[in-house]
Amino acid sequence: MALEHSQAKALISSVEATRRQTHAMLSENWFPMILFGTLAIVSVPVAEFWSQTAMEALWIFGAPLAVLATGLWYRGREIEVGVSTNALPYAITGIAIIVGCTALGIAGRGGRVSYAGPLFVIGFGYLVFARLDRSLAGAILGAGMVAAAVIAFLIQPAHVYAATMLPFGVGSVLLGLWSLIQVKRVR
């Protein structure tokens, strides 16, 4: 089987380009990033100006609805685009985040664990999502949240919920918008 150097290189290059294009389609995540980021941003004034209970209620009811909306969005995309990834690891991670956040929020009883714990779980979950998507930006956001959770646990700054959740929300929305711009550019 005769194969020239240039032919082999061209074939590898062509295959890699095809893989990159498919990876870009599969790692499109602007919808959940913007949705959960917005939820986080909205929860800040609720916690600051209303009550801790209202903020918890927002997450307890809002997070499962957001997960459901995300699942429907991915299902719609699968039908529209015609390519999909294995959803199981994403679903397991999403459920683990909700269960972990709820458990730590309740177990913390308003103490440092009740705010740093969920933030740590969300950050760790984002790291898992970033690993699945091979996303550096997602990994940086996840690592930043884990670090923020540890710092918040240790020093307990004033307005700790706003100080940790606002950067997460804004970061998530910005990453989502960046992803949306990339999608519009590719299509």
Partner 1 sequence: MTADSGRHPTAELDETVHQRVRLGILAILSEADKATFTYLRNALEVTDGNLSTHVAVLAKAGLVRVDKGFVDNKPRTWLRATKNGRATFDAEMSSLSKLVARYQSEAG
Among 61, 68, 76, 84, contact with partner 1 (rule: CB under 8 A): 84
Neighbouring CB atoms inside 10 A of 117's CB total 22
Residue 76 makes contact with partner 1 by CB under 8 A: no
Among 57, 81, 103, 186, contact with partner 1 (rule: CB under 8 A): 81
Provide the minimum distance between the beta carbon of 2 and partner 1 in the complex, in angstroms, as a whole number: 7
Which residue from 73, 12, 7, 63 is spatially nearest to 37, judged by alpha carbons?
A: 63
Output DSSP code: residue 108.
T
Residue 8 makes contact with partner 1 by CB under 8 A: yes
Angle (CA) 92-33-134 rounded to 5° is 65
Q: Is the dihedral of CA 59, 63, 69, 74 positive or negative?
A: positive
Residue 186 makes contact with partner 1 by CB under 8 A: no
Whole-number Å distance between alpha carbons of 73 and 92: 17
Among 19, 53, 68, 147, contact with partner 1 (rule: CB under 8 A): 19
Residue 72 makes contact with partner 1 by CB under 8 A: no
Query: Candidates 85-93, 124-132, 149-157, 176-184 — which segment interacts with partner 1 by CB under 8 A?
Result: 85-93
Provide the minimum distance between the beta carbon of 73 and partner 1 in the complex, in angstroms, as a whole number: 16
Whole-number Å distance between alpha carbons of 34 and 172: 6
Residue 75 makes contact with partner 1 by CB under 8 A: no
